[in-house]
């Protein structure tokens, strides 16, 4: 429920604007208060009268309106909200916001606001996939802007693909989730949480490497959950295609040795979570030049062991975090292997999961984990990786609090 939260809704000029009256209705039904900025192009698709009737408020559409500036100036408009929602966020609005343009009321407000912003993009699939839009998306994400959608499906223009605006109910759910996160208890406030995530790439020669199928999704979800619990988060990430979590310090590495070094640099930490799928071995005789076919002989790869980051930090002489958590990705005898690993690594807790191909965990969005501790094993139900992360972070915060 939105309990009187004030949403400033910026309506851009796209066909999806026809859904915004319904969005306004649903925000109000959930208890929110809505004020609308309608762009000139937006007014081609939805009338100010419709939005004014549904919000019970004047619709703002002009930057240089004398009466508007006297009643409520554009700076005040940008600040007198708890959340700014842009729906539909057109390619044009995204481009303006990404580049700091301020030539109408909507773009000026986006530049002037100090409030969180949620964008619901909507545009033709080719416009969405265009390198320029994807560049703008990355910039906006890095600037701390949140996104919902776009959905994939048939578009008003007859094409199919990603570009449809998220449904009003999904946008309202994202708005509610935003406020729920903001209100959530902060059991990790003042704590530094160090997380490793993703695979490592171990070079064979300048163009080839050994890798694994880890997507980094669980580790990134843990970083976001730790951030939402109030922690300062350092995320040491192997090569993944995920956007860095907003508000966390993300350090990108490739190899296990680089990850080891970045972890060492990031210490001290109160809590360290080793969710990365670190390659156990690297190629000992990494070639400076691309290896060539040599007659019929298949060249052998000499492997050597990588540093075991988890084991090393668990036994760190001077900077051992108060709580060290390992992960065990297993394809068979999950609990048996996990318990043995727990005993061997010297960590305080170990999260075990089944990553056999049938489980769909590697690269997927869901996970089922077992938490191994000195007290035994607690199995959590199958959930989304985000839900797993929230549940785990709550457990870790409890243990940390008990340790004082």
- The residues that are catalytic are 157
Q: CB 351 → ligand C5P: shortest distance, Å? A: 8
Secondary structure of the chain: what % helix, strand, coil (to 5)? Answer: 35, 25, 40
Is residue 327 part of the contact set for ligand C5P (CB under 6 A)? yes
The smaller minimum CB distance to ligand C5P, of residues 26 and 306, is found at 306
Q: CB 92 → ligand C5P: shortest distance, Å? A: 43
Positive or negative, the CA dihedral 341, 372, 324, 238 is: positive
Is residue 196 part of the contact set for ligand C5P (CB under 6 A)? yes
Is residue 194 part of the contact set for ligand C5P (CB under 6 A)? no
Where do runs of H (alpha helix) occur along 268-350? 309-314, 334-345
Contacts with ligand C5P in 333-352 (CB under 6 A)? 341
Q: CB 252 → ligand C5P: shortest distance, Å? A: 16
Contact between 158 and 172 under an 8 Å Cβ cutoff? The reply is no
DSSP of 151-199, one letter per residue? Answer: EEEE-TTS-EEEEEPPPHHHHHHHHHHHHHHHHS--TTTT-EEEEEESB
Binding mask 274-313 for ligand C5P (x = CB under 6 A): x-x-x-x-------------------------xxxxx---
Q: CB 309 → ligand C5P: shortest distance, Å? A: 3
| Residue of 54, 93, 140, 256 that binds ligand C5P (CB under 6 A) | 256
Is residue 396 part of the contact set for ligand C5P (CB under 6 A)? no
Is residue 269 part of the contact set for ligand C5P (CB under 6 A)? no
Which residue has the CB atom at the shortest distance from ligand C5P? 309
Number of residues that bind ligand C5P (CB under 6 A): 15
How far apart CA 390 and CA 227 sit, in angstroms, is 10
Q: CB 403 → ligand C5P: shortest distance, Å? A: 20
Task: At 212, list the tokens.
Answer: 């694994």
Contact between 309 and 274 under an 8 Å Cβ cutoff? The reply is yes
The smaller minimum CB distance to ligand C5P, of residues 176 and 254, is found at 254
Contact between 271 and 323 under an 8 Å Cβ cutoff? The reply is yes
Question: Of 23, 22, 36, nearest to 172 (Cα)?
Answer: 23
Entry field: residues in the chain = 404
The smaller minimum CB distance to ligand C5P, of residues 165 and 347, is found at 347
Contacts to ligand C5P by CB under 6 A: 196, 256, 274, 276, 278, 280, 306-310, 326-328, 341
């Amino acid at each position: 429920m939105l309990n009187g939260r004030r949403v400033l809704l910026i309506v851009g000029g796209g066909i999806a604007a026809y859904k915004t009256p319904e969005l306004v209705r649903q925000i109000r039904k959930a208890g929110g208060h809505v004020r609308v900025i309608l762009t000139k192009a937006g007014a081609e698709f939805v009338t100010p009268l419709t939005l004014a009737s549904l919000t019970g408020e004047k619709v703002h559409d002009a930057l240089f309106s004398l009466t508007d500036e006297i009643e409520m100036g554009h700076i005040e408009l940008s600040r007198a909200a708890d959340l700014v929602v842009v729906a539909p966020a057109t390619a044009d609005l995204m481009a303006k916001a990404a580049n700091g343009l301020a030539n109408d009321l909507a773009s000026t407000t986006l530049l002037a606001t100090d409030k969180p912003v949620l964008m619901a993009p909507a545009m033709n699939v080719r416009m969405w996939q265009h390198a320029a839009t994807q560049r703008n998306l990355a910039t906006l994400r890095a600037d701390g802007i949140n996104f919902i959608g776009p959905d994939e499906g048939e578009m008003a223009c007859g094409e199919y693909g990603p570009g449809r605006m998220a449904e009003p109910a999904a946008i309202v759910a994202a708005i509610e989730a935003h406020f729920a996160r903001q209100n959530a208890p902060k059991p990790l406030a003042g704590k530094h949480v160090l997380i490793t995530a993703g695979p490592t790439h171990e070079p064979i020669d300048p163009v080839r490497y050994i890798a694994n199928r880890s997507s980094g999704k669980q580790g990134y979800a843990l970083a976001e959950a730790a951030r939402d619990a109030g922690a300062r988060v350092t995320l040491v990430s192997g090569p993944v295609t995920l956007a860095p979590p907003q508000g966390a310090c993300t350090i990108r590495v490739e190899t296990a040795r680089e990850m080891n070094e970045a972890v060492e640099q990031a210490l001290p930490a109160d809590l360290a979570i080793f969710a990365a799928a670190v390659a156990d071995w690297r190629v000992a005789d990494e070639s400076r030049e691309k290896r060539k076919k040599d007659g019929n002989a298949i060249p052998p790869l000499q492997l050597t062991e990588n540093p075991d980051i988890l084991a090393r930090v668990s036994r760190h002489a001077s900077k051992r975090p108060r709580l060290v958590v390992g992960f065990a990705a297993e394809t068979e005898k999950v609990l048996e292997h996990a318990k043995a690993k727990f005993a061997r690594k010297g960590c305080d807790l170990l999260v075990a999961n089944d990553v056999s191909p049938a489980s769909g965990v590697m690269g997927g969005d869901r996970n089922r984990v077992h938490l191994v501790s000195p007290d035994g094993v607690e199995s959590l139900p199958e959930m989304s990786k985000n839900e797993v992360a929230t549940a785990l972070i709550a457990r870790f915060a409890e243990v940390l609090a008990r340790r004082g």
